Amino acid sequence: MDPIGKKLLDIAENELGYTEKGDGYTKFGDWWTENVDGDHDDYFTTAPWCDMFLAWAADKADVTEQAGQFAATVDHAKWFKKHDAWGTEPEPGAIVFYDWNGSKDIDRIDHVGIVEKVDGHTLRTIEGNADGYKLMRKTRDMDTVVGFGYPSKVKVEAKYTPKHAAPAPTVDKVGSRTTSTNTHEQESPAPEQLPTQEVILGGILAFVLCGSVALAAGRAAAAKTPTTPPIRVRKRGKHHRPSTPVALPADITPADLESADAGTAVMPALSLAAAHEAEDREFWGRIAHLEEDGELAFWNSLHDEVSETTPAQYASTPGFR
């Protein structure tokens, strides 16, 4: 069995019984006119269709390069001969060409079919336009056979596309920003749009979560606040010294500067208290939009108590150094 011819037989079996219309019209001739004939000549829609049927079947089986695509039986037979795929031995799946006069002349071929079974000197075939009007099975002897075309013997150029290779972009896709040269990447599906109700609910949950986190962070910070703030004195380093000496006023001596420096120990404490107030303002400014939350009453009262204490009072508390 010719493996390519087997594919043609599978297609042909499904079409058994097809009959041309009263005026000779067939779907195979119509297909040829629209898809193969460059001039779209209506002649083929009602022309003898035995070979156009095989062309149609080859197209359906995707074996046109091996089986050929012709409307004229003589041209089809010569094409097989040109491709060294011509012979006189019958074989299932082979394309059989006839001359009703019994000659063996390839130029006098009248009809074509496909061999389904070989039984000695007898052939069982499937033929289009058999008896002049129908697609049917026929039983014929070898006396009228001119020769056979063997589709599997037709050598075609090997075509190979690596499985990992992406198909070449079409003309309208060239230059498109969506064309990717990375053949291993797959386009990510677009995220689904959330229903409006889910978006609103998500916003409410996020609002509550942020408020809870802010409360927890504030309470933790309050618990760690020392009752007696530490005093941090930044030592002056070389990077604080000007590149050139500064001239002192006439009534100021270096000793006066050292004395003044020694008497300003309270300044870091006052600066620290001011820094705490600034941090307070920043914190409450960030959560001001949550003031309507009843859970923030604690923080409001705590803030009021701290606000009533001035920096000078804070610095004069017992134990302050």
Q: Is 293 helix (H, G, I), strand (E, B) or coil?
A: coil
Distances (CA, A) of 78 to 84, 196, 235, 282: 10, 71, 105, 94
> What is the chain's mean pLDDT, rounded?
76
Distances (CA, A) of 75 to 70, 107, 117, 236: 7, 9, 25, 105
- Please give the pLDDT value at position 292: 60
Sheet (strand 145-149) strand order: 86-87, 145-149, 95-98, 111-119, 122-130, 134-141
Q: Which two tokens stand for residue 121?
A: 């000197």
Number of H helices, E strands in the chain: 10, 6
pLDDT at position 177 over 50: no
- Please give the pLDDT value at position 150: 97
pLDDT at position 311 over 50: yes
Look at 87 and 170; give whichever has higher pLDDT: 87
Digit-coded pLDDT (tens) for 46-83: 999 999 999 999 999 999 999 999 999 999 999 999 99
Alpha-carbon distance 200 to 206, whole Å? 10
Q: What is the Cβ-side half-sphere exposure of residue 128, based on CA atoms within 13 angstroms?
A: 27
Alpha-carbon distance 21 to 55, whole Å? 20
Alpha-carbon distance 73 to 65, whole Å? 16
Per-residue confidence at 246, pLDDT binned at 50, 70, 90? low
Give buried/exposed letters for 57-86 (b at 16+ CB in 10 A, else e).
bbbbbebeebbbbbbebbebbbbbeebebb
Strands (E) across 89-240 are located at 95-98, 111-119, 122-130, 134-141, 145-149
Shortest CA distance to 110 belongs to which of 86, 79, 82, 146?
Answer: 146
**Residues forming beta bridges with residue 97, ordered by sequence position:** 112, 147
Average pLDDT over residues 289-310: 64
Shortest CA distance to 87 belongs to which of 9, 2, 10?
Answer: 2
pLDDT at position 268 over 50: yes
Alpha-carbon distance 310 to 69, whole Å? 101
> What DSSP line would sit under 174-211, residue for residue?
TT-TT--S-TT--PPPPPPPPPHHHHHHHHHHHHHHHH
Look at 317 and 38; give whichever has higher pLDDT: 38
Query: In which residue are the tokens 């804070």 written?
Result: 314
> Going by CATH, does the domain composed of 3-153 fall within 3.90.1720?
yes
Instruction: Assess contact for 130 and 96: CB atoms under 8 A.
Output: no
The structural domains of the chain, with segments of one domain joined by +, span: 3-153, 260-321
Q: Is 130 helix (H, G, I), strand (E, B) or coil?
A: strand
* Start-to-end Cα distance in the chain: 108
Low-confidence winner among 4-8, 62-66, 158-162, 190-194 (lowest mean pLDDT):
190-194
